[in-house]
């Protein structure tokens, strides 16, 4: 066995058998924590370590691969659908948490939205040790009456789980017109938050469908029934970051309202953009978001996955 192989074995044994964390191993060998992380990755890649996962989440790998290939995604996870929508969404959130643990690295900037999917994500995430992670809220605050689902609370909770710093947007999700939006977007703290979004490594979002009665934009009356009808007439299919878009991903503004969030085209610059969604009724919204390049990684339930394959 070469000296390098011996090192890989020793590091793997300390991490997987003796339960030392990466920082403790780094100190023991007088190397950096990122180096320990790379050694563990190499040990897995070279089959020095083989991990068998007995996941409580049932996944449909063939269906996920069919969606990934059909839409040219970086990655797709399809969870077997549960009896109800909320249960399916919770399972998707659990799978998203597992996925995040695998792609997050020291020094990363993680951008998050709000809503049911990301609320569940914040709830199911387990504390993990990272260095210099920063969590950033991507869209302004919702109306009162939805404890735990607003952006400030979610970003703070996720940051706490990751031992991370965080940035927030202290502004409403919508303001009256572009002039007011420009005023908010010039506020120094919001400027700083938007700069963090610009350098985000990963973004994780729920994907909304237009007119959905269960949407948090509906339940908070942030978007009114007449406005949903207007958006449908204009061809809107879905929404991300409180911004509505049609089947081509073109944004459709709500008259008299401007969202306090980054323009959707900024999502294309983020290396990993994760969309969490459940139910076949989200198919048109998800398809439009993916085709526009706003989302490159999907974590969905099997009913939505089947609908996406059928309508490709």
Mean pLDDT by 10 residues, the chain (312 residues): 84 88 89 91 89 74 94 95 90 94 91 94 92 95 67 92 94 93 93 96 96 87 94 97 97 96 96 97 97 97 96 84
- Examine the domain organization and report whether 273 and 302 are in the same domain: yes
Report yes or no on 51 lying in a domain: no
The owner of tokens 């572009």 is 178
- Examine the domain organization and report whether 155 and 247 are in the same domain: yes
**CATH number, residue 139:** 3.40.50.1360
pLDDT at 250: 97
Q: Which tokens sit at 94?
A: 């659990």
pLDDT at 214: 83
pLDDT at 68: 95
Q: What does pTM read for this prediction?
A: 0.82
Cβ proximity of 43 and 75 under 8 Å: no
- Examine the domain organization and report whether 95 and 39 are in the same domain: no
- Examine the domain organization and report whether 38 and 143 are in the same domain: no
Report yes or no on 55 lying in a domain: no
- Examine the domain organization and report whether 80 and 33 are in the same domain: no
Report yes or no on 53 lying in a domain: no
Report yes or no on 120 lying in a domain: yes
Report yes or no on 7 lying in a domain: yes
The owner of tokens 């911004």 is 243
- Examine the domain organization and report whether 22 and 115 are in the same domain: no
CA distance 5 to 235: 58
How does DSSP classify residue 14?
A: I
Report yes or no on 52 lying in a domain: no
- Examine the domain organization and report whether 135 and 284 are in the same domain: yes
pLDDT at 148: 59
Report yes or no on 236 lying in a domain: yes
- Examine the domain organization and report whether 99 and 17 are in the same domain: no
pLDDT at 55: 62
The dihedral through the CA atoms of 302, 244, 293, 124 has a sign that is negative
- Examine the domain organization and report whether 106 and 19 are in the same domain: no
Compute, in degrees rounded to 10, the torsion defined by CA atoms 205, 110, 33, 44. 20
Task: Give the domain extent around 38.
Answer: 3-45
CA distance 91 to 312: 25
- Quote the number of domains for the chain: 2
Q: Which tokens sit at 66?
A: 């069919």
pLDDT at 147: 55
- Examine the domain organization and report whether 13 and 130 are in the same domain: no
- Examine the domain organization and report whether 241 and 182 are in the same domain: yes
- Examine the domain organization and report whether 162 and 202 are in the same domain: yes
Report yes or no on 56 lying in a domain: no
Give the DSSP per-residue string, 64-114. HHHHHHHHT-SEEEEEPP-SSHHHHHHHHHHHHHHHHHHH--TT-EEEE--
**CATH number, residue 21:** 1.10.10.60
């Amino acid at each position: 066995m070469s000296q390098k192989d011996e090192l890989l074995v020793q590091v793997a044994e300390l991490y997987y058998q003796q339960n030392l964390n990466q920082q403790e191993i780094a100190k023991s060998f007088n190397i950096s924590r990122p180096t320990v992380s790379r050694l563990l990755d190499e040990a897995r890649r070279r089959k020095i370590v083989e991990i068998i996962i007995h996941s409580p989440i049932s996944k449909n790998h063939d269906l996920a691969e069919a969606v990934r290939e059909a839409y040219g995604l970086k990655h797709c996870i399809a969870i077997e659908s549960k009896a109800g929508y909320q249960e399916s969404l919770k399972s998707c959130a659990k799978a998203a948490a597992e996925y995040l643990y695998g792609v997050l690295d020291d020094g990363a900037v993680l951008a998050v939205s709000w809503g049911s999917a990301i609320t569940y994500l914040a709830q199911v995430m387990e504390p993990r040790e990272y260095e210099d992670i920063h969590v950033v809220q991507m869209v302004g605050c919702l109306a009162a009456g939805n404890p735990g689902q607003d952006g400030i609370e979610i970003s703070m909770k996720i940051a706490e789980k990751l031992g991370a710093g965080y940035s927030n947007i202290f502004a409403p999700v919508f303001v009256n017109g572009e002039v007011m939006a420009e005023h908010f977007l010039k506020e120094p703290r919001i400027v700083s938050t938007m700069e963090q979004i610009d350098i985000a490594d990963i973004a994780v979002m729920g994907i909304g469908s237009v007119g959905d009665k269960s949407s948090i934009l509906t339940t908070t009356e942030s978007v009114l029934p007449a406005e949903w009808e207007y958006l449908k007439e204009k061809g809107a299919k879905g929404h991300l970051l409180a911004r509505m878009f049609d089947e081509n991903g073109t944004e459709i503004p709500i008259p008299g309202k401007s969202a306090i969030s980054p323009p959707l085209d900024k999502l294309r610059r983020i290396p990993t953009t994760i969309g969490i969604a459940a139910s076949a009724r989200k198919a048109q919204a998800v398809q439009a978001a993916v085709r526009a390049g706003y989302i490159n990684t999907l974590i969905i339930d099997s009913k939505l996955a089947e609908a996406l394959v059928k309508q490709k």
